[in-house]
Structure 1
Amino acid sequence: MREGHTYPDPEPPRPGPGRMRPTGWRPLVVVAVVGALLGFAVRPVAQWLGETAPTVGLLQVGALYFLAAVLAALAWQTWRTLHRQGGTLEPHRAVNRLLVAKSCALVGALAGGAYGGYAAAFLDRFDVLLGRERVVNSTAGVVACALVVTAALVLERACRTRGDASGDLP
């Protein structure tokens, strides 16, 4: 510290309004397009490296369907607690559910785009057994990711409280 120079005392952070906007369609579309470009690039990059492009397993796709079911059940339980029964949710639980919903919506859009791009990369190889398997399994992955995004957005909206006329979330 230099002589004669004083630094102001740091102010404590001021509390903000504590609100968050619902996830819009624009970020989801941008993330899905980025995922599609990455998914489409897997086949040419694998060929350039002299490797075989990976296959899409049904276990990964099944895990996405399971995630969509869990998110849908959590959305139903949250909506029922807050709106139908007139109950309350502890603030930290509501924020946790909201953050899970937002992150699952974005990651679901990214993965769905990647599966779609990967399927598109193999459309010209649909007559070959592994090409058909990659397209069919990737398409099932796109559907699963669409369900994940939908369930996540429903969960996000279920976290709204009664006084949220502005569309903000707690």
Structure 2
Amino acid sequence: MTCKHVAFFVTAMLLSAMVRAQSISVEGEVTHPLKLSAADISAMKKVEVVAADRDGKAHHYSGVPVYEILQQAGVTLGPQLRGENMSKYLLVKSGDGYEVLFSLPELDSTFANRVIILADKMDGNPLPAGKGPFRIVVPGEKKPARWIWEVTTMTVRFAK
């Protein structure tokens, strides 16, 4: 394989990942599966959180609370989040296959004090290449290992 072929292959893979990340699917144990575009997310109510990255540098992230997205999809939250529904979780996937897990109570504002967001801006600017267009930001965690970037899919499931 020549250098031109390698460069073409790498460029095609990067473009493919960018196209996949331009929308987010919300699926699984939901009453209203969603396919949210960047425009859909941009039109939603935004919040801002200040959180430190892995280097300890504080940034201002702007985005939609994950709770709000899950409510729009009809996920069992609030007063209905009890009993067997307490075993539901959210699996978030990125374009490169990385996955992170959240229990529903830690995303629900009636259970938790922090707000986990799907960010589309950092310090007033769109997320940098390779980190966006959407990233989960989890304020208050000592390690940002669940700060998944290039989010493509959110799946709600029962733990069984």
TM-score, length-scaled by structure 2: 0.24
Instruction: Decide which structure has greater strand share.
Output: 2
Larger radius of gyration: 1
Q: What's the TM-score once normalised by structure 1's chain length?
A: 0.23
Identify, as 1 or 2, the structure richer in helix: 1
Q: Which gives a bigger RCO, structure 1 or 2 (Cα 8 Å, sep 6+)?
A: 1
